[in-house]
Structure 1
Amino acid sequence: MAAKTETAPATMGTVASADGTTIAYEKVGSGPALVLVDGALCDRGFGPCRPLAAELADRFTVYLYDRRGRGDSGDTAASAPTTTPEREVEDLRAVLDRASEENGGGPVAVYGSSSGAGLALEAAAAGVPMRALVTYEAPYVAAGWKNPDVDHLAVVDGLLTEGKNGSAVGYFLVTMVGAPAFVPFMMRLMPSVWKHMRAVAPTLPNDIRIMSGFRVPADRLSRIAVKTLVLVGGKAAEPMRDAQTAVAAAVPGARSGVLDGQTHQVSAKAIAPQIAAFVSA
């Protein structure tokens, strides 16, 4: 068996979004371009994208970027009012345009996880050019969700206005995501992790807006003209499974798949082959 080719070190770059905001990215690997889109509270140095990029870098030129208000990208807490789903779609378009320019032109493939999957779907529905789209567990929910009438955006906005960033993170993790109540306490015992989460807490409202009240926006998704693969973990709760079924049904021609044994925190080794096979087909 041939030895795996060594991957060159990642290189950094920035690109200006439509409103002039600086979006930071890094790229690693070689081959067709693939852009990864993170979910809530994550950036390229904190979350699943870097391990996934390492798994894919022998087959793709992988771009991972800091979403607006995170990491080295602009629009921090001081200017958070300029963060909207529309601005984040423009940010993703800017990264895709740069990836296309640097890799011979033409549309670029996209992978999005969690609310990053929601953002990628919104971008595709808005007509942002993509070669292929793979999503993992965009966190829409079915009508029978346990908290269907709670205005989560108002709660999180209120906590942030009061300067209670830690409480906003705890509310998101426990009440919205469904993590056990002890998780925020455990996070506090990891100072660097908790510091990061508190710092990016002001970006949470936009993840909530992107997710359209956590109901599948079937009408908008029906506009997508990109070949799409919708994935869900085998250990996902029923509302999450139902939501991914609804997403796949709404996107014309979409395929769906289940990753056995996987939770919302999907293993890079488990999902990388699925992404590679679909994007390369």
Structure 2
Amino acid sequence: METITTPSGVTLAFDRFVGGAAGTVILIGGAFGYRKFPKMVELAEKLADEYKLTVINYDRRGRGDSTDSPGVYDVENEIEDIAALVAAAGGSAALFGWSSGAGLALRAANSGRIPGITGVVAFEPPFVVNRQEFVPAKDLEVKLHQLVASGNRGKTVSFYMTKAMGVPRAFVAVMRLTPFWKELKATANSTPHDWAVMKDFMRGESLRPADWAGVTVPTLVLAGGSSGRLLRNGARAIAEVLPTAKHVEVAKLSHNPKIDLLAPPAGEFLVGLARKADQ
């Protein structure tokens, strides 16, 4: 484990997987994600071993071994975190984001604050672009912040999964009986950071090209053919408004992905970025 301290005083913990000379990528997890999550580790290892990428797999603020800014939930702070990680990577890196982590990767690239970003892989950013499936309540943030402040992590997990992510209550009830529930509770208090990233783009409204004009680096938007329609629609919608994006839907891939299906398109794209940089 390595650590850095950001300008705002947050300590970020990360693992560095050194694969070769094919460039560097920073992995950004989604809601409840953390760097020791088995599939994040598997993805990091595969990108390093098979695609010769150097991979930085970090705990976003409030998760794992990273510290937090309790009560302060602002996407600009997480963009600052990514800037610090890019600097730690040597000044340039691509970003791979999963779910709300994909939304954060795109917002970081869009910010213009990190010139060292070389490209983005966005895996199923949860944009809600119509009202045909699920739209979170407008006042969700108030209740979420109250639950986090109360310290009831179990209720926070249930609330965020059902009200922000649209997970059926019956599925959440089953998850409570699994060993994984403990891991969800451990990262529950970080969910306001995910909401800060995504809240403006989960209102059931079409995405506007002007809001994303700053994403000028090569971008791959990935979706799974076995994922729900909401996620597939969101991935297609953001790819359509980005200036330089390619959209790929991978058969049999889901939001809880098999890494053997997710890694190839991501790895090939990221290696391609490094090759273009060398030309």
The code of the aligned residue for 2:152 comes to K
The code of the aligned residue for 1:89 comes to I
Identity of counterpart residues, as a percentage?
Answer: 34
Match of 2:141 in 1: 153
Residues of 2 paired with 1:27 and 1:91: CA distance?
A: 16
Matched position secondary structure for 1:36: strand
Preserved contact between residue 38 and residue 47 of structure 1 (Cα < 8 Å): no
The number of equivalent residue pairs is 261
Unpaired stretches in structure 2, ≥5 consecutive residues: 273-279
Match of 2:103 in 1: 118
> What's the offset of the Cα at 1:47?
5.3
Normalising by structure 2, report the TM-score. Answer: 0.87
The code of the aligned residue for 2:197 comes to I
> What's the offset of the Cα at 1:217?
6.0
The code of the aligned residue for 2:83 comes to R
Match of 1:85 in 2: 75
Whether 1:42 aligns to 2:27 is: no
Residue 65 of structure 2 is aligned with which of 65, 72, 78? Answer: 72
The code of the aligned residue for 1:135 comes to A
Preserved contact between residue 68 and residue 83 of structure 1 (Cα < 8 Å): no
Matched position secondary structure for 2:43: helix
Preserved contact between residue 136 and residue 163 of structure 2 (Cα < 8 Å): no
Residues of 2 paired with 1:169 and 1:253: CA distance?
A: 36
Residues of 2 paired with 1:146 and 1:39: CA distance?
A: 19
Residues of 2 paired with 1:47 and 1:276: CA distance?
A: 18
Residues of 2 paired with 1:223 and 1:247: CA distance?
A: 13
The code of the aligned residue for 2:238 comes to V
Matched position secondary structure for 2:117: coil
Match of 1:141 in 2: 128
Match of 1:8 in 2: none
Residues of 1 paired with 2:128 and 2:9: CA distance?
A: 34
> What's the offset of the Cα at 1:30?
1.7
> What's the offset of the Cα at 1:93?
1.1
Residues of 2 paired with 1:152 and 1:140: CA distance?
A: 16
Match of 1:273 in 2: 264
Match of 1:6 in 2: none
Preserved contact between residue 48 and residue 54 of structure 2 (Cα < 8 Å): yes
Match of 1:175 in 2: 163
Match of 1:3 in 2: none
Closer, same or farther: CA 147–132 of 1 in aligned 2, 3 Å: closer
> What's the offset of the Cα at 1:271?
1.2
Whether 1:13 aligns to 2:10 is: no
CA displacement 1:82-111 (0-9 Å, x = unmatched) = 342111111111111111x2xxxx521111
Preserved contact between residue 128 and residue 135 of structure 2 (Cα < 8 Å): no
Residues of 1 paired with 2:10 and 2:150: CA distance?
A: 26
Residue 188 of structure 2 is aligned with which of 188, 201, 207? Answer: 201
The code of the aligned residue for 2:212 comes to L
Matched position secondary structure for 1:226: coil
The code of the aligned residue for 1:130 comes to I
Matched position secondary structure for 1:131: strand
Residues of 2 paired with 1:116 and 1:197: CA distance?
A: 16
Residues of 1 paired with 2:226 and 2:40: CA distance?
A: 21
> What's the offset of the Cα at 1:149?
4.4
Closer, same or farther: CA 148–70 of 1 in aligned 2, 3 Å: closer
Matched position secondary structure for 1:111: strand
Match of 1:239 in 2: 230
